A = this chain, B = another copy of it.
């Protein structure tokens, strides 16, 4: 496994790979790798010649009051996992190499980054879009892999890639869950034992809306109310939003059709968690 630490070397190696005719499957991560990330890596390996993983906790997608400095990090553990998955290249740039002094450019993807998490985390998706564009320009992957758990992020990245002609196919892979249904997330590490038990309620609440939908209910507000009601049964959970949207992320106002997504963001203690399922 090649471990690359600088933008310059990464661009050079990626350019060589590119012109050797081999395809690059890129998995951008913020590290602290879990089974969700590993599922993306395995998919990339299956679909491309090379799996290339980046580990970079991107400061520009965190708000000033958010958890950038506390975000869990485990570089040695992450490298061991990548090695174990037979990743060919791991790219771990320094923040000063990605954002040198005087860096001033930002990318706004528009409508799809408003609403849901975009409404509660101003600037978050601008940070995501900017770093993804930079990483794609450095690496020029054939495909890039993102998890469905970060539903709005997948919409933003797909729109970004299309609008800026990034020439990378965006692949969205299913959310990987713990046995009790909790979506895998690096932020689960923040939870106390008691909070962790409470967090199982998120998926159960989303699943309850799916059951209701399957029994014929199509009104988005009723489905949202079902999830909200279920979540509030758990006193440790504070709901940020529950929203039924279409596959393009637009709020559904009338009847739910196939492919609709119900997404929720909650706080448990100081930890913010998101999840979504197709209903």
Seen from chain A, the residues whose Cβ lies within 8 Å of a Cβ on chain B are 7, 11, 15, 18-19, 21, 103-112, 129-130, 133-134, 137-138, 140, 159-160, 163-167
Contacts and interface: CB of A to CB of B under 8 A. Distances in A.
Given A11-B167, A137-B165, 4 more contacts: A11-B165, A105-B129, A108-B108, A133-B164
Contact of A110 (B19, B104, B109, B111): B104
A107 B134 CA distance: 13
A125 to B, nearest CB: 11
A140 B107 CA distance: 19
Instruction: Determine how many copies of this chain the complex contains.
Output: 2
26 contacts: A7-B165, A15-B167, A18-B18, A18-B19, A19-B19, A103-B163, A104-B110, A104-B111, A104-B112, A105-B107, A105-B108, A105-B109, A105-B110, A105-B160, A105-B164, A107-B107, A107-B108, A108-B108, A133-B133, A134-B164, A134-B165, A137-B164, A137-B167, A138-B165, A138-B167, A140-B140
Contacts of A112: 104
Nearest to A160: B105
Contacts of A15: 167
Nearest to A105: B163
Contacts of A18: 18-19
A228 B188 CA distance: 64
Given A19-B19, A138-B165, A106 B107 contact: yes
Contacts of A107: 105-108
A136 to B, nearest CB: 9
A112 B102 CA distance: 10
Contacts of A7: 165
Contacts of A164: 105, 130, 133-134, 137
Contacts of A163: 103-105, 134
Contacts of A165: 7, 11, 134, 137-138
A252 B258 CA distance: 61
A103 B159 CA distance: 8
Contacts of A129: 105
The listed residue with most B CB atoms (<10 A of its CB), out of A19, A103, A133, A163, is A163
Given A18-B19, A19-B18, A19-B19, A137 B166 contact: yes
Nearest to A110: B104
Sorted from nearest, which 3 A-B pairs have the closest CB atoms?
A104-B110, A105-B163, A137-B165
A18 B17 CA distance: 13
